[in-house]
């Protein structure tokens, strides 16, 4: 409230310092106090004491606000005070002269002598006239702000809506220039109006060259649509010429006034895909909605390894879909393009998604020959398991099959089998969920080789035999022994003879 009042006083050019009319204001405040006291007393006698609150509240109002507003109220109600004087461009001291007259007309003793019933008509008109004065000025300030917004909005609307030329000759003309793009058939340009512009394109030239029809979404394939040029006057060689426009019928004018924009139906692309769930591989389905028969479409699916597939769509109106099942895991991009004229493709939509590869359950196995006696060994390696999932396995071979359930502790596992008799074996493992996934591997345990024979005893050393007719010699022959004996006998005999001879000779010498 106070803010609006201060703004109103500033606009009226009223100074903010003390004024000569302050004395009049003080007189009125004193009279109003007496009047309020009299009214309160009368109401109290009648038993209606609750109404005294507003009068007391009015009395305790801000004196500064009352002092600043009362001169304006006095001026509004006093017929002797010129209404326009506060706005006049005069020195600040001059407005005090017409304000002195109302102060003299209201003596301070008048409220005391006058009856209580006669007092209200004198002052209430001033009290009632003041609010209209305040309301007449305050909305003016608010109105400036309130009306500025619609003006700005209207100006903005005008800026974004084309207005055709009038009847005066113009130098330039704004028109809707055709493009080769189905999704954006027109652009706004403003070329020179006449055709004598030094070889540059002009509005007249556009109207004479781009003669196709107005674009519409169902326009036949490969059709070249035309510009939309408003009618206008222009000068050429000192003469005023008139151009009737191009495609300037009611439909063309609607497009022109809409800033050359035409609502184009855009196909909708919806992807449905799912990443790996246990051993169920990812898949992709692409749904296309709102296809136009007069357009060609190209749907491309690619991942980090390159293009996965390309689908060409022609002469199709409405909806269609394509499914790829399964697809490998990876980062995918799905792109839909459209073409109105051959070879010129526009991207309509592009979406990306990621799916994970599924594990591949696999088994490899190797067998070893017997180590002790008739026993052998096998080693089975399992990969692609899902941790904490249950797998049923079976080992078949010589003898009764062996089977059990394995809870996968990890994604891969080595399982040895011992004490296997020779023969062919097969290991099979199965995961059972919505589908059954099975992997198997075969191996062979070779029989033990036979024990090698004992080596033969080494042969006796060879002794050569003596020739026939000759005496046997050597340590192994009997002939040698006899000969040696005979020699020894001979020698012994000789020794005896020699001894005897020596004895005989000795005796002889004696």
Query: Could you tell me the pLDDT band of residue 344, with boundaries at 50, 70 and 90?
Result: confident
Do 5 and 65 contact (CB within 8 A), yes or no?
Answer: yes
Residue 46, phi-psi category: left (phi > 0), alpha (psi -120 to 50), beta (remainder):
alpha
Are 283 and 376 part of one and the same domain? no
Residue 438 lies in a domain: yes
Query: Could you tell me the pLDDT band of residue 22, with boundaries at 50, 70 and 90?
Result: very low
Are 224 and 275 part of one and the same domain? no
Residue 163 lies in a domain: no
Tell me which of 117, 141, 165 is where a domain ends. Answer: 141
Contacts of 75 (CB under 8 A, 6+ apart): 81, 83, 86, 99
Helices marked H in 230-353 — which ranges? 250-257
Q: CATH number of the domain that 402 lies in?
A: 2.60.40.10
Are 15 and 83 part of one and the same domain? yes
Are 97 and 189 part of one and the same domain? no
Residue 275 lies in a domain: yes
Are 209 and 309 part of one and the same domain? no
Residue 420's nearest CA partner among 392, 441, 447, 451 is 447
Compute the mean pLDDT over every residue in the chain, rounded to the nearest whole number. 72
| Predicted pLDDT of residue 266 | 92
Are 371 and 345 part of one and the same domain? no
- How far is residue 167 CA from its own chain's centroid? 53
Residue 56 lies in a domain: yes
Q: Residue 211's domain spans which residues? A: 175-257
pLDDT digits (tens, 9 = 90+) for 56-102: 444 444 444 334 444 344 443 443 444 444 444 444 444 444 434 44
Are 32 and 73 part of one and the same domain? yes
Residue 222, phi-psi category: left (phi > 0), alpha (psi -120 to 50), beta (remainder):
left
Q: What is the DSSP string of 92-109?
A: TTTTHHHHHHHHHHS-SS
Query: Could you tell me the pLDDT band of residue 45, with boundaries at 50, 70 and 90?
Result: low
| Predicted pLDDT of residue 166 | 86
- Residues 404, 408, 410, 414, Cα dihedral to 10°: 10
| Predicted pLDDT of residue 209 | 74
Do 381 and 365 contact (CB within 8 A), yes or no?
Answer: yes
Mean pLDDT of 259-275: 95
The structure's pTM equals 0.52
Do 367 and 420 contact (CB within 8 A), yes or no?
Answer: yes
- Indicate if the pLDDT at residue 319 is higher than 90: yes
pLDDT digits (tens, 9 = 90+) for 146-205: 333 333 333 334 345 788 888 899 999 999 999 988 989 999 999 888 754 444 467 777
CA 485/CA 423 separation, integer angstroms: 76
Are 69 and 182 part of one and the same domain? no
Are 229 and 299 part of one and the same domain? no
Residue 496 lies in a domain: no
| Predicted pLDDT of residue 481 | 64
Are 78 and 7 part of one and the same domain? yes
Query: Could you tell me the pLDDT band of residue 38, with boundaries at 50, 70 and 90?
Result: low
Tell me which of 257, 290, 305 is where a domain ends. Answer: 257
| Predicted pLDDT of residue 46 | 54
Residue 148 lies in a domain: no
Residue 452 lies in a domain: no
Are 238 and 188 part of one and the same domain? yes
Give the length of the chain.
Answer: 510
Do 335 and 360 contact (CB within 8 A), yes or no?
Answer: no
With tokens 């106090």, the residue in question is 33
pLDDT digits (tens, 9 = 90+) for 117-141: 444 444 444 444 444 434 334 333 3
Residue 479 lies in a domain: no
Tell me which of 445, 474, 496 is where a domain ends. Answer: 445
Are 85 and 205 part of one and the same domain? no
Number of domains in the chain: 4
Mean pLDDT of 384-402: 93
Give the lowest-confidence range in 105-114, 310-319, 446-455, 487-496.
105-114
């Amino acid at each position: 409230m106070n803010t609006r009042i201060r703004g109103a006083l500033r606009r009226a050019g009223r100074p903010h310092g003390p004024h000569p009319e302050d004395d009049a204001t003080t007189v009125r405040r004193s009279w109003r106090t007496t009047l309020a006291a009299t009214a309160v007393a009368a109401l109290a006698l009648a038993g209606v004491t609750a109404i005294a609150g507003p009068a007391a509240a009015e009395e305790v109002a801000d004196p500064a606000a009352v002092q600043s507003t009362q001169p304006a109220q006095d001026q509004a109600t006093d017929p002797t005070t010129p209404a326009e004087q506060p706005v006049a461009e005069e020195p600040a001291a001059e407005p005090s002269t017409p304000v002195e007259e109302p102060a003299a007309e209201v003596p301070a003793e008048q409220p005391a002598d006058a009856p209580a019933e006669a007092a209200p008509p004198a002052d209430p008109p001033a009290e009632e006239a003041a609010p209209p004065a305040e309301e007449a000025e305050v909305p003016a300030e608010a109105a400036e702000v309130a009306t500025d917004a619609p003006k700005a909005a209207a100006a903005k609307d005008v800026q974004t809506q084309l207005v055709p030329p009038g009847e005066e000759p113009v130098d330039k003309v704004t028109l809707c220039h055709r493009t080769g793009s189905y999704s954006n058939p027109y652009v706004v340009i403003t070329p020179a109006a006449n055709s004598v512009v030094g070889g540059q394109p002009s509005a007249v030239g556009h109207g004479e060259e781009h003669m196709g029809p107005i674009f519409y979404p169902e326009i036949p394939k490969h059709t070249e649509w035309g510009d939309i040029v408003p009618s206008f006057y222009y000068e050429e060689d000192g003469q005023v010429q008139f151009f009737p426009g191009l495609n300037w019928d009611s439909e063309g004018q609607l497009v022109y006034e809409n800033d050359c924009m035409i609502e184009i139906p855009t196909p909708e692309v919806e992807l449905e895909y799912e990443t790996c769930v246990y051993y169920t591989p990812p898949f992709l389905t692409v749904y296309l909605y709102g296809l136009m028969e007069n357009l060609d479409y190209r749907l491309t699916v690619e991942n980090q390894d390159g293009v996965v597939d390309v689908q060409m769509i022609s002469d199709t109106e409405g909806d269609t879909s394509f499914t790829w099942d399964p697809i490998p895991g990876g980062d995918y991009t799905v792109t839909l393009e459209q073409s109105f004229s051959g070879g010129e493709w526009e991207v309509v939509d592009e979406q990306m998604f990621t799916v994970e590869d599924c594990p591949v359950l696999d088994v490899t196995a190797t067998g070893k020959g017997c180590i002790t006696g008739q026993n052998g060994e096998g080693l089975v390696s399992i990969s692609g398991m899902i941790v904490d999932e249950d797998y049923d396995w079976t080992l078949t071979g010589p003898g009764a099959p062996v089977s059990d359930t394995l809870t996968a502790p990890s994604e891969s596992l080595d399982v040895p089998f011992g004490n296997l008799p020779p023969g062919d074996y097969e290991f099979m493992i199965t995961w059972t969920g919505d589908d059954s996934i099975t992997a198997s591997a075969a191996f062979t345990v070779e029989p033990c080789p036979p024990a090698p024979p004992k080596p033969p005893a080494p042969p006796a050393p060879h002794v050569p035999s003596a020739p026939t007719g000759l005496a046997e010699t050597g340590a192994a022959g009997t002939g040698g022994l006899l000969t040696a004996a005979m020699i020894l006998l001979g020698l012994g005999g000789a020794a005896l003879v020699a001894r005897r001879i020596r004895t005989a000779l000795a005796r002889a010498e004696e």
